[in-house]
A and B are shown apart, each in its own frame.
Chain A
């Protein structure tokens, strides 16, 4: 059987949506029952965003899935909803139903997401040397790294887990819509957007 990473492939020169869907599917492939679902699915589904012009197709062959941009010809079409990310519109198509399950993997814990976010990004240009992630309902925090170049991200556990594991198209939106709040500079915010994409796009 393929490794979780190898189970999900993308076309060359993928679009942001393709990369993000692939990252989500890879998260599902880490979960045994969802991993099994990939191996039980054959066929294609074409996903059309309900909010903008983005679209992508998932093609299953019984052992792996390929994500490509655009609406695959002949594939069942389904609405792709970004909030909550990712939800599919009403469908009876079995491939679309499988895709819907695979595109909603369980969230990691906020601590695991924060640790992964730090590990992927620390040391990259402009990234703070110290990251503080504050969970509001637990009234606790995790601190990564050290030094005066510090950035704080505050939020409720599920929101932190979602944002730090790559959900939401832009980190800026997560701040603007109050999903998380932050303490830091404009320069930090810019770098955090890049760091979020690095996780979101599976870099």
Chain B
């Protein structure tokens, strides 16, 4: 779109303000609201943000201990350039657009999550592949308003839809239906493609599935759908959280489904199981899984979800049609052959996890990496002999630091910076009010993660 066309689009849709949107490293949805004139003036160079977009933690404290990349200085500006392919009417009179962060010198900011994913998609394209994805969004709804939740320190809340039942229950009270139908309505009005929503296993837990598509588009849908779920909750006087674990009940995930296409066909498809491309993709993904866990399980709370027999994977395994392994290979279908990467918590930044997983997978394809043997049987409660997924933020950081493929795929700058932020998260938990790791969920975690991850 040319500037004049964008201007006309704003007029035609009666737009009086524009949300420019992005995620930070922690996956929080950030942005600014700008006037139409300001927006039009920023189309080429972007909207200025202080570099603390990638420099403050979720407690609004500066992340320290990291070496600053060249684009960071004395609170220097970086610029969110709108991707006009994402321009939409967010609500009457309000437009929204997702952007990517660039430096003042005109280079993409290396730690920007969307830049990372676009880079991996471009790499796949160079090799003749497209990356298809779909994301499952799990969340828990509460009867209380967010103001009430804050007053209670986000604890002792009442799950929306009652505490009895199983999964997929349709016999829900009207307040539950009211919320989810309102979410669906908002998604449709914005133009966010969705596939399904349903009751999930824990009390108040729901799952919303965004439709399959190109991986960057799907990550955009993930970010926006979560924002819609929050906005609708607040409008209806409810609360929602994407914490990976908020109680002793079952945790919450963001399973990411990925496949490669070659032209119009699914490159993972083979009538006999995995295609050669899928085998090598799996080889790359599995080799990088321990390191990728730092991105898929980004917070202190993320690791509380890794409980045997509760759904999340606990071992570095993959299997055919096996949901107890970390990667489920769905094979034998000309359209739906894919991997389901089951490690990420609902608190993970999908741009980053998708970039790491797809990047490692493509690295495997290029280098013809053989995967380990598929795991057969139940991958929980094993006596040993199988590598476990890191169980703490420090173990995962050490695995990422040792991983050479992810440094290559995501870049040394990103990996070094990310590791610094995870060390900070560990320190902040222990020295700023969290406490010892084995005492159960802490008030520090609720205060830090409940509303923002």
Chain A complexes with chain B = yes
Which A residues from 164 to 194 make CB contacts under 8 A with B?
A: 169-172, 185-187, 189-191, 193-194
Of A186, A190, A193, A197, the residue contacting B75 (CB under 8 A) is A186
Given contacts A52-B431, A54-B431, A194-B64, contact A15 B73 (CB under 8 A): no
- How many chain B residues touch A (CB < 8 A): the figure is 31
Q: Which residues from A are CB-within-8-Å of B444? A: 53
Q: Which residues from B are CB-within-8-Å of A125? A: 67, 416
- How many chain A residues touch B (CB < 8 A): the figure is 27
Give the distance to chain B from A186, nearest Cβ to Cβ, in Å: 5
Is A17 an interface residue when CB atoms closer than 8 A count as contact? yes
Query: A105 to B315, alpha carbons, bound, how many Å?
Result: 44
Q: Which residues from B are CB-within-8-Å of A55? A: 435-436
Q: Is the CB of B64 within 8 A of A187?
A: no
Is A13 an interface residue when CB atoms closer than 8 A count as contact? yes
Q: Is the CB of B430 within 8 A of A15?
A: yes
Given contacts A69-B436, A69-B437, contact A197 B427 (CB under 8 A): yes
Is B126 an interface residue when CB atoms closer than 8 A count as contact? no
Query: A64 to B154, alpha carbons, bound, how many Å?
Result: 44
Is A43 an interface residue when CB atoms closer than 8 A count as contact? no
Of A15, A53, A126, A172, the residue contacting B442 (CB under 8 A) is A53
Give the distance to chain B from A48, nearest Cβ to Cβ, in Å: 10
Q: Which residues from A are CB-within-8-Å of B74? A: 185-186
Of A17, A170, A187, the residue contacting B72 (CB under 8 A) is A187
Of B66, B433, B435, B438, the residue contacting A194 (CB under 8 A) is B66
Give the distance to chain B from A13, nearest Cβ to Cβ, in Å: 6
Of B68, B392, B426, B435, the residue contacting A190 (CB under 8 A) is B68
Is A16 an interface residue when CB atoms closer than 8 A count as contact? yes
In the complex, the chain A residue whose C-beta lies closest to that of B392 is A13
- 0/1 interface trace, chain A 118-145, chain B, CB 8 Å (1 if under): 0000001111000000000000000000
Given contacts A185-B74, A186-B73, A194-B420, contact A52 B64 (CB under 8 A): no
Q: Is the CB of B68 within 8 A of A193?
A: no
Query: A59 to B433, alpha carbons, bound, how many Å?
Result: 25
In the complex, the chain A residue whose C-beta lies closest to that of B443 is A53
Q: Which residues from A are CB-within-8-Å of B68? A: 126, 186-187, 190-191
Query: A185 to B74, alpha carbons, bound, how many Å?
Result: 7
Q: Which residues from A are CB-within-8-Å of B427? A: 16, 197
Q: Contact residues of A with B, CB < 8 Å?
A: 13, 15-17, 52-55, 69-70, 124-127, 169-172, 185-187, 189-191, 193-194, 197
What are 14 A-B pairs at a CB distance below 8 A? A16-B426, A52-B432, A53-B435, A69-B438, A125-B67, A170-B64, A186-B73, A186-B75, A190-B62, A190-B65, A190-B67, A191-B65, A193-B64, A194-B65
List of 4 A-B pairs having minimum Cβ-Cβ separation, nearest first: A126-B67, A53-B435, A194-B65, A187-B68
